[in-house]
Structures are given as structure tokens and as C-alpha cells.
Copies of this chain bind each other. A is one copy, B any other.
Amino acid sequence: MAQTYQAKIYVTLRPSVLDPAGTAVQSGLTHMGYDNVERVRIGKYIELSLTANSADAAAQQLDRICDQLLANPVIENYRFELEELAAV
């Protein structure tokens, strides 16, 4: 029976990749007086719901979705959490 899953996906730049947006935010914070803030990195946070027959099937599909559309595997990492919502 198909289940609905709520997915929370975190896409972050790989540590070796420069993050100009994060640097800009850190610079802005310094100018605002928050000079105790460091290592600002900006990523994406995506929520979606999907139906699948099992949590494994949902996770496999999410892996494909992340690799193909949501993340750029060359420069980004991703991870996700799945939560079962309800039977359909």
C-alpha cells in the first residue's frame, strides 16, 4: 500500500568549494558588528512530499531526484530525512 512521506533535503556546497554568498553574508555580519561569526556557508533546504510503497523505495527515488535535479554532485553534497505521513 502506498505511503506518503515527507522529505527534508539539505543541499550543501562541498567543503573544498568556495562559497562567495557565504563570504558576503559573513562580511555583512562583520559590518553590522557581529564580528564573532565565522565559517558561514549557505545551502538549500527543500521540503517535499512523495508517495511510495516503502521508505526504501522513497529513499532510492530521492537519491535519483537529488542527483539529477536538486543538487549538483560535482560541487554539492546532499542528505535527507524521510518521515512517514499517512497511508494513501
**Chain A interface residues toward B at CB < 8 A:** 10-12, 22, 25-26, 28-29, 32, 34, 36-52, 61, 65, 68-70
Which of B11, B37, B51, B52 interacts with A48 by CB under 8 Å? Answer: B37
What is the oligomeric copy number? 2
CB contact under 8 A between A41 and B34, given known A29-B69, A70-B25: no
Query: In whole angstroms, what is the CA distance A45 to B79 when docked?
Result: 12
List chain B residues, Cβ under 8 A from A61.
34, 36
CB contact under 8 A between A46 and B41, given known A29-B65, A69-B29: yes
Query: In whole angstroms, what is the CA distance A29 to B42 when docked?
Result: 24
Query: In whole angstroms, what is the CA distance A65 to B25 when docked?
Result: 10
